[in-house]
Structure 1
Amino acid sequence: MKLLYNGQLLNDDEVQLSLSNRAFQFNDGFFETAIIKDGQIRFWPDHLQRLHDAAKTLQLALPESLFHILNGTAILDLAQQNIAFNHGRIKLKVWRSGSGLYTPETNHADWLLTVTPITSSAQTPLKVGICEAVFTSYTFFSHFKGPNSLVYVLAGLEKKKRGYDDMLVLSRDGFVSELISSNIFWIKDKELYTPDLQTGCINGILRRNILRWCAAKNINVHQVQANLENLITAEAVFATNVTGIRFIKEINEYQFAGMHELIGAIQEEWQL
């Protein structure tokens, strides 16, 4: 497989990272994932905005080589080479250069970008458990991907152990926050609800687009700090990430309806 490392096109077995690499030593960085569908990078402007927000928050100086790649055709060229042009996943990892301990030696950044082919995910409704092992917490960096990854890893282990399709992670205050790799929405009385970023959830790309779409359509949408009792009385519940929308049929023993006209309208808008 080909990849891009600091602007160089390499085979994956040619990449050599030092043991002092700060991504390895301290998780000092972030990552961004996006989907290619039929030669188009879906929601690319939103991904770029979140990337810049993450870099600014972590005080990382993005190199010129990365700007050149992000604004050119190199990503789609790489997708062609890796047979991922029709349906692929982009993953961009950015981390602080240099060594040092907790106090960095520099704010310059290194980066690595891969594009891998994927197949369409199953669209069967999800059976979700309530995570007991970990909680989300709001910080100034909790809205992007990378710094809090261990929360989702441990939630994934609990999902596997307990035999669920996904896990609902609550905030430390007991509010509904998110799933392992998806935002969560629910519908009550024809109005849409989703957790506020103050719960510590990721500011997902499809989440952003749904909020904008609702505002344009004058659909009431509420970003809330809601407890579990509020969620389980919903008419319908669904999960969103850049791969699409999944219905949630069950959270623990609580059952939910499947299709809802509002969800259908959202799916139709982006052909999800």
Structure 2
Amino acid sequence: MVSYNFELIPEKKIGALNLDRGFQYGDGLFETMICENGQILFLEDHLERLRKGLKALRITPPKSLNKETIISEVRSLAEADGLGDHIRVKLTTWRKEGGLYTPISNEANVMITVKPVQQQTDENYFIKTDFCETSTVAYSAVSFCKTLSSMSYVLAGIEKKEKEVDDLIICNTEGYVAEFISSNIFWIKDDKVYTPKLETGCVAGISRKNIIKVLENHGYKVKKVLARKYDLTYADVILSTNIAGVKIVKELEGRTYNSPRAWRTLFLKAYDL
């Protein structure tokens, strides 16, 4: 028996939750991807980051965790659910049950889910933002990837809702700018492009990686820096980037920005299939 919501019920009724290491310890990783017209954007980059993260956690991925299998599974799920051409894919991997803080097994469970996703329009890519006050991030062996231990981002999400803004900029424990709640951050000052170093504890975003390539191909050297809040205050343009697209900050701490759309257009070249 277990007490579930203060009601005694047979343990089997809650399934494997009390044994699941993803639920009990956040012992796993996930990747969120976009599938358009049957093609998963940046799939190889997502798998590379996932494998690096699993290696850091000493989790052994199954041999079936490969590009071909994922594409096949996503297509089958999309067809079964009757979804359209623009889909959000979540790939979650976590260590199999057993043990307390010290696990018994290093084998992995894998789950793929798909949901329809709304495409960005001209009306929803300008955002109002602020600095996060309730949460920070820190550099670690796995800060570059997306872990199931996401309380820093949950707290930031709650604060965002309370402040009635579209997003929040999170700093690290030393006060350096790191990232938005679920996206990386870039800013431009005097035609120079900046983004936080991975050593701030920000996620090594897949869009971030590909946007940097595009910018450098267009002659811009992206400076990876340790920056304070005031560096953003005096920026000319601030952009938020993730697999869903690119957004432009229109307001930060009450200051408005006249951000040219040309920068967003350039950043979006990274998403061309």
TM-score (norm 2): 0.88
SS at match of 1:73: helix
SS at match of 2:142: coil
Indicate the larger mover: 157-166 or 65-74.
65-74
Match for residue 151 of structure 1? 152
Match for residue 90 of structure 1? 89
- Give the partner amino acid of 2:80: Q
Contact kept, 8 Å, 1:139 with 1:200, in 2: the verdict is yes
Structure 2 matches for 1:222-233, cutoff 5 A? Answer: 222-233=223-234
Indicate the larger mover: 140-149 or 92-101.
140-149
Contact kept, 8 Å, 1:87 with 1:118, in 2: the verdict is yes
Give structure 1 stretches of 5+ with no counterpart: 1-14
TM-score (norm 1): 0.89
Residue 232 of structure 1: how far off its partner (Å): 1.2
Indicate the larger mover: 38-47 or 75-84.
75-84
Aligned residues: 258
Q: Is residue 114 of structure 2 the alignment partner of residue 115 of structure 1?
A: yes
- Give the partner amino acid of 2:199: Q
Q: State how far apart, in whole Å, the 1-side matches of 2:161 and 2:199 are.
A: 28
Q: Is residue 172 of structure 2 the alignment partner of residue 189 of structure 1?
A: no
SS at match of 2:158: helix
Residue 266 of structure 1: how far off its partner (Å): 2.1
Give structure 2 stretches of 5+ with no counterpart: 1-13
Contact kept, 8 Å, 1:78 with 1:115, in 2: the verdict is yes
Q: Is residue 93 of structure 2 the alignment partner of residue 64 of structure 1?
A: no
Match for residue 160 of structure 1? 161
Structure 2 matches for 1:1-272, cutoff 5 A? Answer: 16-67=15-66, 70=69, 73-121=72-120, 123-271=124-272
Residue 19 of structure 1: how far off its partner (Å): 1.7
Contact kept, 8 Å, 2:210 with 2:270, in 1: the verdict is no
Q: State how far apart, in whole Å, the 2-side matches of 1:211 and 1:124 are.
A: 20
Contact kept, 8 Å, 1:36 with 1:85, in 2: the verdict is no
Contact kept, 8 Å, 1:82 with 1:117, in 2: the verdict is no
Residue 162 of structure 1: how far off its partner (Å): 1.3
Of all paired residues, the percent bearing the same amino acid is 36
Contact kept, 8 Å, 1:195 with 1:201, in 2: the verdict is yes
